[in-house]
């Protein structure tokens, strides 16, 4: 048995290669499922789970997996980042910093999202790290055809590369890239498409131009997911899983996975009808088996996100997180712990009515979920029709251009003046 109280601090380095993931406690079962799939193909690899959450008692049944708590990293302004970022943003913001820390002891570092499942060895990626400092995979390597989402335009919005995977070696080029990426994630790891921000992921569109040694891996067997099934056909053979009849399947990224319905490809796409990809569904059954194992491998006293509320239990609204980030340097530069009920951030929230009574405030509206807001869309459409009549076509067009930027809280600095 591995207890987090005794193993969280410190990183031991008996191996050349380390695989790590980042999650909060609510995703620990998925992280353990991913680790088990790695260990089935690499029984001697080092595995690290970064927990971006408040410390609590966590027990693992596999001593080969090590826990590392985010607050033990020495991450700069950790509590401030835990407040300004939501749960997804915080997890992604920590990734480059953790990779830098691991490179102090390991020659090669591979990051995998907790909802990834290995189907074969990572050796072909490890070999590439002998000649490339950084390895990235595109979401897709061919255009989308027909209707449905995701599409080419979505890649412009969310980023060319999927950062559910990246790999780096212990070279100066890799460290320079990670240092640059870390600085961006420290300050700008927000999901704000209106201003061009897409957590940690969108920044890597610039990596190939800004950094040396970046390799774009177009291996169709690596990082298979719902966003590239238009170009990748899975098949199970007597020798294992292959892609497009030829390439060994390395790993599948089960993003937006629907565990209780094997026919649904993913919850965040509209391109594939339920039951239309039976081979992907069969691969999903393999993943379900690992999830079942994951539930037996991790035990935690509470899965509630520790940075979702003030120390008095009052929930932190998404709007407050954004406004805090907007005015942090101006109003809260000396505030070391923004979660305190008797602190300046709580008083700011009270003054500007930014406190919420909601239990869950981390709702993300994706392009599929918007279909459930038809009533709201009709009301908004009516308001915009009246705006068009009042303003006329020219001023209405200019107004929408302005509104597209102002809808981001980061462009509302004059709101509390």
What separation, in Å, do the N-terminal and C-terminal C-alpha atoms of the chain show?
Answer: 55
* pTM attached to this predicted model: 0.90
Kindly tell me if the per-residue pLDDT of 341 is higher than 50.
yes
Structure tokens belonging to residue 352: 């500007």
Q: Evaluate if residue 4 carries a pLDDT over 70.
A: no
8 — pLDDT class (breaks 50, 70, 90):
very low
Q: Kindly state the percentage of the chain with pLDDT values over 90.
A: 81
Calculate the average pLDDT of the chain.
91
Q: What does the DSSP assignment read for 171-185?
A: SHHHHHHHHHHHHHH
Give the model confidence (pLDDT) of 278-322 as tens digits.
999 999 999 999 999 999 999 998 999 999 999 999 999 999 999
Tell me how far apart the alpha carbons of residues 263 and 259 are, in angstroms, rounded to a whole number: 10
pLDDT at 371 over 70: no
pLDDT bin (cut points 50, 70, 90) of residue 412 is confident
**What pLDDT was estimated at residue 6?**
34
**CATH class of the domain at 2-300:** alpha beta
Question: What does the buried/exposed string (b/e) look like for 118-130 if buried means 16 or more CB atoms within 10 Å of the residue's CB?
Answer: bbbbbeebbebbe
Looking at residue 410, its pLDDT comes to 83
Task: Specify the DSSP element, H or E, that contains 252.
Answer: strand 251-253
- Residue 405 banded pLDDT, cuts 50, 70, 90: confident
What is the residue extent of each domain of the chain?
A: 2-300, 308-368, 373-411
Which residue from 129, 79, 80, 137 is spatially nearest to 108, judged by alpha carbons? 129
* CA atoms of 154 and 177, how far apart (whole Å): 25
Residue range 11-19: mean pLDDT, rounded:
70
Report pLDDT for 370: 58
Element (H, E) at 116: strand 116-118
CB 78 within 8 A of CB 71: yes
- Distance CA(17)–CA(254), nearest Å, equals 24
């Amino acid at each position: 048995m591995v207890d987090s109280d005794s193993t969280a601090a410190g990183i031991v380095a008996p191996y050349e290669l380390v695989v790590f993931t980042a999650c909060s406690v609510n995703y620990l079962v998925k992280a353990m499922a991913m680790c088990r799939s790695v260990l089935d193909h690499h029984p001697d690899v080092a595995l690290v789970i970064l927990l971006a959450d408040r410390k609590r008692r966590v027990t693992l049944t596999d001593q080969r997996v090590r826990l590392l708590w985010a607050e033990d990293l020495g991450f700069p302004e950790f509590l401030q980042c835990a407040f300004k970022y939501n749960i997804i943003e915080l997890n992604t913001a920590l990734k480059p910093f953790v990779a830098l820390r691991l490179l102090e002891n390991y020659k090669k570092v591979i990051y995998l999202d907790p909802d990834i499942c290995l189907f074969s060895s990572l050796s072909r990626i490890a070999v590439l790290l002998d000649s490339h400092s950084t390895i990235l995979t595109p979401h897709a390597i061919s255009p989308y055809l027909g209707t449905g989402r995701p599409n080419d335009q979505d890649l412009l919005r969310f980023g060319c590369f999927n950062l559910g995977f990246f790999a780096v070696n212990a070279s100066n080029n890799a460290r320079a890239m990670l240092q640059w990426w870390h600085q961006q994630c420290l300050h700008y790891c927000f999901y704000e498409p209106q201003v061009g921000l897409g957590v940690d992921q969108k920044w890597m569109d610039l990596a190939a131009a800004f950094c040396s040694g970046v390799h774009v891996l177009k291996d169709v067997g690596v990082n298979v997911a719902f966003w590239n099934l238009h170009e990748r056909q899975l098949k199970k053979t007597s020798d294992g899983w292959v892609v497009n009849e030829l390439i060994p399947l390395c790993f599948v990224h089960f993003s937006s996975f629907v565990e209780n319905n094997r026919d649904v490809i993913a919850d965040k796409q509209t391109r594939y009808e339920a039951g239309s990809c039976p081979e992907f569904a069969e691969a999903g059954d393999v993943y379900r088996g690992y999830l079942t194992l994951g539930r037996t491998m991790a035990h935690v006293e509470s899965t509630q996100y520790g940075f979702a509320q003030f120390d008095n239990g009052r929930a932190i609204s998404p709007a407050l997180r954004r406004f805090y980030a907007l005015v942090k340097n101006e109003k809260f530069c000396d505030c070391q712990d923004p979660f305190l009920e008797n602190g300046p951030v709580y008083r700011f929230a009270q003054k500007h009515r930014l406190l919420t009574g909601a239990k869950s405030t981390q709702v993300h509206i994706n392009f599929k979920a918007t279909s459930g807001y038809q009533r709201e869309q009709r009301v908004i459409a009516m308001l915009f029709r009246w705006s068009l009549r009042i303003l006329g076509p020219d001023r209405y067009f200019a107004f929408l251009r302005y509104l597209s930027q102002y809808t981001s809280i980061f462009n509302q600095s004059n709101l509390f003046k």
